[in-house]
Each structure stands twice: as structure tokens, then as C-alpha cells.
Structure 1
Amino acid sequence: MNAKAVDFAYYTVSDIETSVSFYQETLGLELEILDEESGWAEFASPPTTLALGEANPHMPISPGEGGVGLALAVDDVKAAVDELREEEVTVLMDTVDSGVCDMAMVGDPDGNPIMLHRRHDGTHGRKNPFP
């Protein structure tokens, strides 16, 4: 096998409508695809995609069970945490300075972890998106 790329990051969610609202309105991600009938949504998160799939018998992962973790680049981690706290989003980890970056973690409506992240050098995404 020779994997070519990561096509998308994926979370299982319990309610697609609630989750789409959270990712679109609360986090500000751009909705690209929504298929409510199948319980599937995709958000632009360059250079990849964030996919959400409603829990079903074909997907062996329960919402909030763990697995993949998502890290979103933001301009100011503390300000983002404060803003989300005002929206009553659960803060799983307050802002920490690792020496290389600032990071914090919040939970989506199902408890899936979302890291808020800012590198001190100001870069975001892959350092070299087209190696």
C-alpha cells in the first residue's frame, strides 16, 4: 500500500443538524456538502476536508468515543476560547503555551475534541502543502 494523501478528517456525530450548526455557525467553517438524508456533511478546511457522519450501523465509531482529533488554526487561542466559552461550548483544556505554539481544547456537541492552535511563527496548515 502507498497512501497518497489524507482526503478528509472524520467525526461520528449523534445529530447531523446540531453538529452542522456548531461547525458552521460557532466555529465558522464553510459547509461544502450536506446530505441530511444520509446524515453526512463536509466542511472546507484547507488543505483538506472535515467530514461529519451521523452514527449508523455501518460506522463502527460512536460519537465522542475518540479516534481522530482535529486542530484548527486560529489567530488568538485565548480569545477563541473566551468567545466559545461565551457560546457555552465546553472547554476541555485551557490555553497552554508549549514554547512552540499556544493550544487549547474544546468539545463539539458530542464531546469530540477540537484543538485550537496557533504556532508562534505565525504559520498554519502544512508547512509545505505541495512537497
Structure 2
Amino acid sequence: MNVKAADFVFQTVSDFSTSVPFYRDTLGLEPETIDKESGWAEFAFPPTTLALGEASPQMPFTPGESGSGVAMAVDDVETATKELEDDGVTILMDPIDSGVCHMSIIADPDGNPIILHKRNDGTSGRVDPFL
């Protein structure tokens, strides 16, 4: 097997009508595809796509805080966390400075963890070790 790239990141959600507005309006991600009938949405998440799939027999995954999460690069972790907290978003971990980065963890409507992240070196996204 030869893995060439990450085509998308996937989160399972339990209520499509709640989750799509959260990712679109609260987090400000740009929708690429929203298919209410199949319970599938894709959002621009450079350099890839963030896909949401509503839990179903075809998607037999359970959403929630014990599942996988995604890290989103932001300009200012503290400000983003405070803005989301003011909007009623659950904060799972307050902002910290690890020495390498600043980060906090919020929850989407299903409790799926989302890491708000800023590297101290100013980079974001995939870092190519061969450059």
C-alpha cells in the first residue's frame, strides 16, 4: 500500500441540522457540499477537507469526546476560545502554552473535541520535513 495524501478529515455527528450551522456559522468554515438527505457535509479545511457524517447504519460510529478530534490553526487561541465560550460553546480545556504551541480544546454539539491551535514558530498546516 502506498498512502499518497489525506483526502479529508472526518467527524461523526448525531444531529446534522445542529452540526452544520456550528461548523459553518460558529467556526466560520466554508461549506463545499451539504447533502441533507444523506447526512453528509464537506467544508474547506486547507490543505484538505473536513467532512461531517451523520451517524447511521452506513456510518456506524459514535460521536463524542472519546472519539478522534481535529486541530484547527487560529491566529489567537485565547481570543478564539473566549469568543466561542461567549457564544455558549463548551470549553473542554482552557488555553495553555506548551512551550511549542498555544492550544485549548472546545467541543462541537456532540462533544467531539476540536483543538484550537497556534504554533509558536508561526507555521500552520502540514509541515513538510523534506523542505
Same fold (TM over 0.5): yes
Q: Distance in 2 between matches of 1:66 and 1:2?
A: 29
2:24 aligned residue: 24
Q: Which letter maps to 1:6?
A: A
- Report 1:1-131 matches (<5 A): 1-64=1-64, 66-128=66-128
* Structure 1: gaps (5+ residues): none
* Structure 2: gaps (5+ residues): none
Q: Which letter maps to 1:45?
A: F
Q: Distance in 2 between matches of 1:111 and 1:130?
A: 36
- Is the Cα–Cα contact under 8 Å of residues 65 and 113 in structure 2 kept in the other structure? no
User: 1:53-79: per-residue Cα shift (whole Å, max 9, x none)?
Assistant: 011012221121633210000000000
- Is the Cα–Cα contact under 8 Å of residues 70 and 113 in structure 2 kept in the other structure? yes
Q: Taking structure 1 as the reference length, what is the TM-score of the superposition?
A: 0.95
Structure 1 stretch displaced more, 116-125 or 64-73: 64-73
Q: Taking structure 2 as the reference length, what is the TM-score of the superposition?
A: 0.95
Count of aligned pairs: 131
Q: Which letter maps to 2:121?
A: D
Q: Distance in 1 between matches of 2:110 and 2:130?
A: 34
Q: Distance in 2 between matches of 1:86 and 1:112?
A: 19
CA RMSD of aligned residues (A): 1.6
Q: Distance in 1 between matches of 2:95 and 2:45?
A: 22
Q: Distance in 1 between matches of 2:37 and 2:65?
A: 23
- Is the Cα–Cα contact under 8 Å of residues 34 and 42 in structure 1 kept in the other structure? yes
Q: Distance in 2 between matches of 1:101 and 1:119?
A: 4
Shift of 1:3: 1.2
Q: Distance in 2 between matches of 1:65 and 1:104?
A: 14
- Is the Cα–Cα contact under 8 Å of residues 65 and 107 in structure 2 kept in the other structure? no
| Identity over aligned pairs, percent | 65
- Is the Cα–Cα contact under 8 Å of residues 47 and 129 in structure 1 kept in the other structure? no
Shift of 1:35: 0.3
